[in-house]
């Protein structure tokens, strides 16, 4: 990250560590914590937000004290927004971004985790999972998918595929939208904000249509 902390695997690490982790800090003076939303450290093996402090990690952003108050803990650890899990080897596994979580009735779902599984489906060219509003659960997951030419896919078939990958049932998408292309931001990245607004507008429009229509 440009804010400081660097992690690498090392020569001699096992194949599992090389393939599954992003390594561990390069400097022995780097301090790493994985914390929950209240700033408490999570247990080893659980997912938490990466917070770090060290000799080359920034102490704050210039001229934005309100932002710094949110991004740094009281004892100076930088909240990265990256979700990680500690591997038994002491290395770290990236699980996604904090802002890319879907809160389904209190159950936190990593959109990136589900997207990576959906990309394994032979019919899928690209995917973006976004939250859609739900009156009972707060949010549910909608999977926007671009298919390879000539392919077909519906939600039951997609979820049957995902269940064969042993995904937890609460992480299954509850709506599938097929698109020819995704909206992109000014930086050329898929705009999940636009997709979220699109599905929210679709749900609102559907709610206004009489049941007999």
pLDDT value of position 170 = 94
pLDDT band at 17 (very low <50, low <70, confident <90, very high): very high
Which of 146, 92, 81 is closest to 119 using CA atoms?
A: 146
Examine the domain organization and report whether 21 and 48 are in the same domain: yes
Confidence check: pLDDT of 76 > 60: yes
Residue 112 near residue 97, CB atoms below 8 Å: yes
Residue 97 has pLDDT above 90, yes or no: no
pLDDT tens readout for residues 148-185: 999 999 999 999 999 999 899 999 999 999 999 999 98
SS3 annotation, 5-17: CCEECCCCCCHHH
Residue 42 DSSP one-character state: P
pLDDT of res. 81: 85
Prediction pTM value: 0.65
Do 190 and 113 fall within a single domain? Answer: yes
User: Do 143 and 157 touch, CB atoms closer than 8 A?
Assistant: no
Give the domain range for residue 89. Answer: 7-98
**Quick one: pLDDT band at residue 211, thresholds 50, 70, 90?**
low
Last residue of a domain, one of 98, 130, 147: 98
- In sequence order, what are the beta bridge partners of 145? 127, 178
């Amino acid at each position: 990250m440009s804010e400081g902390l660097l992690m690498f695997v090392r020569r001699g690490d096992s194949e599992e560590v090389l393939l599954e982790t992003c390594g561990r800090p390069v400097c022995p003076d780097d301090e790493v914590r994985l914390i929950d939303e209240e700033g408490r450290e999570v247990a080893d093996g659980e997912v938490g937000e990466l917070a770090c402090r060290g000799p080359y990690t920034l102490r704050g952003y210039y001229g934005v004290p309100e932002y710094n108050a949110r991004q740094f803990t009281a004892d100076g650890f930088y909240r990265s927004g990256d979700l990680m899990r500690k591997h038994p080897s002491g290395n770290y596994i990236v699980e996604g971004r904090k802002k890319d979580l879907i809160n389904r009735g209190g159950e936190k779902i990593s959109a990136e985790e589900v997207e990576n599984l959906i990309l394994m489906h032979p019919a899928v060219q690209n995917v973006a999972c976004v939250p859609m509003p739900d009156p009972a659960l707060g949010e549910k997951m909608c999977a926007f998918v671009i298919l390879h030419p000539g392919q077909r896919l519906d939600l039951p078939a997609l979820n049957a595929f995902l269940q064969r990958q042993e995904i937890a049932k609460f992480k299954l998408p509850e709506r599938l939208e097929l698109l020819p292309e995704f909206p992109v931001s000014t930086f050329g990245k898929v705009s999940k904000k636009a997709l979220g607004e699109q599905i929210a507008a679709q749900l609102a429009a559907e709610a206004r249509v009489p049941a007999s229509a």
